[in-house]
Amino acid sequence: MNEELAQELIAMGRADGAAAHKALSDDFAERLQWRRLTAEHGDRLMQIMDEHGWPTADEVGTEAARAAWLIAQHADRQLEVQRRALRLLERAVAEGRAGARELAFLRDRVRVNEGRPQIYGTQIAGVRDGVPVPWPCVDPERMDARRAEAGILPFAEHVARYAPDRGADRDPAPGS
């Protein structure tokens, strides 16, 4: 296991988690801090992918692999980072070295950032009448079946876990 890389990814993931609330802040300076952090992390993840490929759990441990995925998810202004991460993660999943759930979330994130309909309904466009609404989705009638194949709860069940009366934060997709 690459312990040095694992610790670096874990630290980046923790910094991301600690600052994620700034993404939706009314304070412009806080939003700018969030953008800078995600850009720095995206740049570093691109270097890591160039040097090591996708950091899988067997190479860096579960926590660090999840941190790499989270960094890719949040690199919204660096589509080339997200696309590269998606290709490498697809390969890792095909080899049985990464999970289909994370791949589904990243695939949807990339598609939304490209202006295309998502597949699994993991990305939330907003809230209507107190209910989270996903970005447009390919064949929405089959969305829950695709979610099940990827190990994701049905949409209604998933968002119910993050209802305001349950003390949820702003992000109905944990870790995304």
pLDDT tens, residue order, the chain (176 aa)? 899 999 999 999 999 988 888 887 788 888 888 899 999 999 999 999 999 999 999 999 999 999 999 999 999 999 999 999 999 999 999 999 999 999 999 999 999 999 999 999 999 888 888 788 889 999 999 999 999 999 999 998 888 876 655 443 334 344 44
Q: In angstroms, how far is the first alpha carbon of the chain from the final one?
A: 25
Tell me 97's DSSP state. S
The pLDDT score that the predictor gives to residue 164 is: 57
- CA–CA separation, 14 and 61 (whole Å): 15
> What would the two tokens of residue 156 be?
């209604």
Q: What 3-state DSSP class applies to 133?
A: strand
| Contact by Cβ (8 Å): 34, 19 | yes
The residue with tokens 């993404």 is 23
The pLDDT score that the predictor gives to residue 165 is: 53
| Contact by Cβ (8 Å): 11, 19 | no
Q: Where are the domains of the chain?
A: 3-98, 124-166
The pLDDT score that the predictor gives to residue 171 is: 40
Per-residue burial over 63-72, b if 16 or more Cβ lie within 10 Å, else e, is ebbbbbbbbb
pTM comes to: 0.86
The pLDDT score that the predictor gives to residue 175 is: 42
Instruction: Tell me the C-alpha to C-alpha distance, in Å, between residue 10 and each of 7, 38, 109.
Output: 5, 14, 22
The pLDDT score that the predictor gives to residue 21 is: 83
The pLDDT score that the predictor gives to residue 130 is: 79
